[in-house]
Structure 1
Amino acid sequence: MTVTTDTLLSVRDLVKTFPGRPRRTGRPGAPIRAVDGVSFDVGKGETLGLVGESGCGKSTTGRMIVRLLDPTSGTVTFEGTEIGGLSQAQLRPHRRNLQMVFQDPYSSLNPRQTVARIVSEPLLIQGASAADARERAGELMELVGLTPEHLDRYPHEFSGGQAQRIGIARSLATSPKLVIADEPVSALDVSVQAQVVNLMERLQQELGLAYVFIAHDLSVVKRVCDRVAVMYLGRIVEIGDKAEVYGNPAHPYTKALLSAVPLPDPAAERTRERIVLLGDPPSPANPPAGCTFHPRCPKAQESCRTERPLLQIVGPGGRQAACHFPEVRGPGL
């Protein structure tokens, strides 16, 4: 993964370890390695999808990028500046260009504040006047499909889809270049999901935004993303161009996830192969040796139980997979 002049965000060997729960004896439990050596780049105007089962570390990764969590080790470089070690004062100028949209719109909006205050707060923190911030808030409301008349209302007066639009408006207040969208539509009804996804695509085209789109719904990711990174137990097991990952998955875990995505054609849905993974993901406090996926992998062999596979190029366009026995179809592969 080579950093180019078009690279906006570069994440290298990112690790986050949380303390384990105390045992009954009072001694600390085993530390939980939520993110275990994640690396990827995001280019200007690009959307990278970060997908995987619940608990795989994708949301923790997103929170470390915007420094809501500090990494245990590794680097986060934004526009050529390593921001992982910056103080809050040093980080403030970068926050203009690096924002986040959260999964639950209601829990991320202060119920005691008006929409005007919620949307304009990032601008006030950056030193804008109250009048300028409110004027900008009105513009943002129109940009996301609401009206300036909504500014004096409170979050509980809005539907889930409208509340998420307010969250998106807040994230755009400082005209960022990169937005981390953490499961932005998973709490919404299906029909509303489509509206919010359409909105995010339009905003990207109009404003030149880049996204890290975190989700577990591979149908949504396929629609909005340019590249896809698949996470399992804190590690990226496959990353590459969307068409390659979806059309020709190399890692058994990716293949299993895609086999669970419903198909619009009933006939194809009835006849296709469905891969059922056995058991639950192992605990990040006690991950298996070797390939962490091997206890659930239908292709596991002895080397999988003892040797940790590293990401390696397995297909065109630099696609990578962390598997001893990747499945890639095509001439010369």
Structure 2
Amino acid sequence: MTETTTPATTAATAEAAPGTPAPLLSVRDLTMTFPGRRSATGRRGAPVRAVDGVSFDLAAGRTLGLVGESGCGKSTTGRMIVRLLQPTSGRVVLDGEDISRLSQGALRPLRGSIQMVFQDPHSSLNPRQTVARIISEPLLVQGRSAGDARRRAAELMELVGLIPEHIDRYPHEFSGGQAQRIGIARALATGPRLIVADEPVSALDVSVQAQIVNLMERLRAELGLAYVFIAHDLSVVKRVSDRVAVMYLGRIVEIGDKAALYANPQHPYTRALLSAVPLPDPAAERRRERIVLLGDPPSPAAPPPGCTFHPRCPKAQEICRTERPLLRLAASREVACHFPGD
């Protein structure tokens, strides 16, 4: 199988140009392969490549939206960035230092710079611990005294819109939106520069989603945070992101500036995803074309040859079945498609 080449200077994979600041986060050729499951007879199945060569840069104070269907590898990518999972190969460079192969001991001093907010707030909070303990625990691990950690926890509760007097309550005494605010406060405890937010609003009511999104935007402006914002809701991603990366079956198929990508998507998969986002104008909603993809995504344990999207793509031709396209410049963003555009 042959592969198309991509220019060395494309936006997602190029090193910073001379005279420009280096990115806060640089991900290069990140790959995660899980061993296959064992059957009832003890035979192990084919390995699953959940993430397959993901690369992107993220500047300080900016937000990258990572979108795609369930099972596309976006959450696995986020967990590798914060080293909850050890990458099979590739690099994660945080503020100039490659953290992808550091031991846990060497990584501990750097964990204060990168934190994670999880999808389900209640399952990510220890029900046996008070809010004071949950928020202050990262500070205690970093060597702060118990008194300083508790005072900082109260400050963070107020920062995220909670009542500091409730610091000795337990997670079950809070609503879903309040619990997610606790999770955000815990992530802020060590003063991180980067937060990986894995579906942070998908488990919440719509009205509460807006509150959490507004909170995260305010915190980004006040604290200079950078986010990797993982979601399947493209309307939320449009609200919070500066750049958007679209993943399909473990690979980025399109990445670029938010405005350009939403206004004129180049990859057929991106076009299909955006066609499913409801429009606020009923007349425009009735006029537009809804793109319905046939079938389900292939198994990452047995991906199709060539372009992995070709079995579902309405534009697929023979080259799509034999050659896997790599990211290349098309209409001011990068697209992994032999026939980008309309």
| Both proteins in one fold, TM over 0.5 | yes
Cα distance, 1:189 vs. partner?
A: 0.2
- Does residue 1:75 correspond to 2:91, yes or no? yes
Find the counterpart in structure 1 of residue 337 from structure 2: 323
Report the counterpart of residue 214 of structure 1 in structure 2: 230
Where do residues 201-280 of structure 1 align in structure 2 (5 Å cutoff)?
201-280=217-296
Corresponding residue of 2:297: 281
2:67 — aligned with what?
51
**What does the per-residue CA deviation read over 1:61-108, in whole Å, with 9 as the maximum and x for residues that have no partner?**
000000000000001000110001101110011111100000000000
Counterpart of 2:104?
88
The separation in 2 between residues aligned to 1:257 and 1:131, in whole angstroms, is 49
The residue type equivalent to 1:112 in the other structure is R
Partners of 2:41 and 2:303 in 1: how far apart? 23
| CA distance in 1 between partners of 2:297 and 2:23 (Å) | 33
Q: Which residue of 2 aligns with 1:184?
A: 200
Shift of 1:49: 0.2
* Structure 2: tracts of 5 or more residues without a match: 1-12
SS of the counterpart of 2:197? strand
Q: Judge conservation of contact 1:219–1:261 (CA < 8 Å) in 2.
A: yes
Highest RCO, 1 vs 2 (Cα 8 Å, sep ≥ 6):
2
Deviation at 1:24, TM superposition (A): 3.4
SS at match of 2:290: coil
Count of aligned residue pairs for this structure pair? 326
Match of 2:5 in 1: none
Q: TM-score with structure 2 length normalisation?
A: 0.94
The aligned amino acid for 1:128 is R
Determine the C-alpha separation between the residues in 1 that align with 2:128 and 2:170: 7
Matched residues, percent identical? 79
Determine the C-alpha separation between the residues in 2 that align with 1:274 and 1:111. 44
CA distance in 1, matches of 2:139, 2:22: 27
How far does residue 154 in structure 1 lie from its aligned partner after superposition? 0.2
Question: What code does the residue aligned with 1:322 have?
Answer: A
Deviation at 1:26, TM superposition (A): 1.5
CA deviation digits over 1:116-142, x for unaligned, max 9?
000000000000000000000000000
Equivalent of 2:81 in 65, 70, 78: 65
Query: 2:167 matched to 1:126?
Result: no
Q: In the TM superposition, what whole-angstrom CA distance separates every residue of 1:257-277 from its partner, at most 9, and x where no partner exists?
A: 000000000000011011000
Distance 2:106 2:261 in 1: 38
Task: Output the amino acid matched with 1:8.
Answer: L
SS at match of 1:152: coil
Deviations 1:17-48 (A, max 9, x none): 01111123322100010000000011000100
Which of 14, 18, 32 in structure 2 is aligned with 1:2? 14
Where structure 1 has 5 or more consecutive residues not aligned to the other structure, the ranges are 329-333
1:39 aligns with 2:55: yes
Structure 2 residue aligned with 1:153, among 164, 169, 188? 169
> What's the TM-score, normalizing by structure 1?
0.97
